[in-house]
Amino acid sequence: MDCNDDIKVVGWEEDLIIALTNLIENSIYWLSQKKSGDKKISIDVIESTDIIIHYKDNGPGIDKSIIESGVIFEPGFSKKLEGSGLGLPIAGEAIERLNGSIMAHHIDNGAYFTIELKK
């Protein structure tokens, strides 16, 4: 994790915790499916005109078509065998309450999300 200790987010702390916890839990699940021992989660926080959180793992990744369709944030959608499909929609709502947005991005190896929070 790379984050300056001076960065402040205004809003309910629980909302940010909910969103990040969901992303981390998803990464742990998908990284556990990976046979390689090289398993990483990185969180980088950058402050500019807004606060940007770059969240990445090196798991199996997310299909580009799923990201482009937006279904990844729809209630009920899950690629997990026993998933409820509620985690990412709840994370999205939590970030919206913080006057922010969450986006999924396609990368070749792993999952990549950005959370943008207005100052």
In this structure, what CATH number is given to the domain that contains residue 104?
Answer: 3.30.565.10
Residues of the domain holding 24: 13-118
- pLDDT class of 66 with cuts at 50, 70, 90: very high
Report pTM: 0.91
Q: For the chain, what is the mean pLDDT?
A: 93
Number of structural domains found in the chain: 1
Q: Identify whether the C-beta of residue 72 lies closer than 8 Å to the C-beta of residue 62.
A: yes
What pLDDT does residue 5 have?
A: 87
16-46 residue pLDDT tens: 999 999 999 999 999 998 887 889 999 999 9
What pLDDT does residue 8 have?
A: 86
CA angle 46, 51, 54 (to 5 degrees): 55
Q: Identify whether the C-beta of residue 16 lies closer than 8 Å to the C-beta of residue 9.
A: yes
